[in-house]
């Protein structure tokens, strides 16, 4: 817990100057674009991209550190599941198109509302979508959602299915461990810290749910999130 608290503190301190670098590079890019200078603009765009990648890594470290240090507070609210899914589709469609991928979002018309932590559910789905997009090239990623009732409780099921590279059978048991990817060489080829899926599992557990994966190597992967539609007693 001491290590997690230290990492959380360090990550927070790193974000402040990095946000300044990103902010000033954005302003510089605007000025250079107005001046019509194409060559330096390419370099500024590289700085922006590298800054965004570094910020994402720091954010992942901060998130997992907070969770493991027991600092991940849960904020309950009632929200439309359909509205959240529509928002995710509108935000991420362009990101998927940049990699030649198609994003498809489908859900039952009567999916209804949820009473849980909106931002944590959004983060779970965002991490799964980003993971699917990263490991899929000119393919399709489908985010689907449905509601089911059993044992007198209403549950939400979110499924992210991709047509990407898939996961080796011997890696399925460790795919949700921190700093793990399906293949150690993937961190060099695809980037990232291997924290996204670990964060997903921790957040699902905090919201009283779970996340599972099934995959066939070379044919893609299917991640299934199960969450109570109404969270009464958050897991601490």
pLDDT tens per residue across span 63-79: 777 777 666 678 899 99
For residue 4, the model assigns a pLDDT of 62
Mean pLDDT, the chain, as a whole number? 86
For residue 131, the model assigns a pLDDT of 93
String of b and e for 15-24 (b: at least 16 CB within 10 Å)?
eeeeeeebee
Q: Are 227 and 154 in contact (CB under 8 A)?
A: no
Asked which of 12-16, 30-34, 197-201, 229-233 is least confident by mean pLDDT, the reply is: 12-16
C-alpha to C-alpha distance for 39 and 81, rounded to whole angstroms: 44
For residue 18, the model assigns a pLDDT of 83
Q: Is 89's pLDDT higher than 80?
A: yes
Structure confidence at residue 191 as a pLDDT band (50, 70, 90): low
Q: Is 43's pLDDT higher than 50?
A: yes
Of the candidates 155, 72, 159, the residue with the CA atom closest to the CA atom of residue 114: 155
- CA 17 to the chain's CA centroid: 23
Structure confidence at residue 156 as a pLDDT band (50, 70, 90): very high
Q: Is 230's pLDDT higher than 90?
A: yes
C-alpha to C-alpha distance for 159 and 234, rounded to whole angstroms: 22
């Amino acid at each position: 817990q001491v290590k997690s608290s230290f990492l959380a503190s360090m990550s927070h301190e790193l974000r402040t100057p990095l946000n300044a670098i990103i902010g000033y590079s954005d302003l510089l890019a605007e000025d250079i674009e107005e001046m019509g200078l194409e060559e330096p603009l390419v370099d500024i765009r590289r700085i922006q991209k590298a800054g965004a990648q570094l910020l994402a890594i720091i954010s992942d470290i901060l998130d997992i550190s907070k969770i493991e240090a027991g600092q991940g507070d849960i904020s309950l609210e009632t929200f439309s599941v359909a509205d959240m899914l529509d928002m995710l589709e509108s935000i991420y469609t362009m990101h998927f198109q940049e990699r030649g991928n198609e994003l498809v979002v489908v859900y039952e018309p009567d999916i209804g509302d949820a009473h849980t932590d909106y931002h944590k559910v959004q983060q779970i789905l965002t991490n799964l979508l980003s993971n699917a997009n990263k490991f899929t090239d000119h393919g399709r990623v489908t985010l689907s959602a449905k509601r089911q009732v059993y044992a007198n409780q209403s549950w939400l099921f979110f499924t992210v299915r991709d047509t990407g590279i898939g996961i080796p059978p011997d890696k399925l048991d460790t795919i949700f461990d921190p700093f793990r990817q399906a293949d150690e060489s993937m961190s060099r080829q695809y980037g990232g810290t291997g924290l996204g899926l670990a964060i997903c599992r921790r957040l699902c557990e905090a919201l009283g749910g779970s996340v599972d994966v099934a995959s066939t190597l070379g044919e893609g992967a299917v991640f299934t999130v199960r969450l109570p539609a109404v969270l009464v007693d958050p897991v601490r």
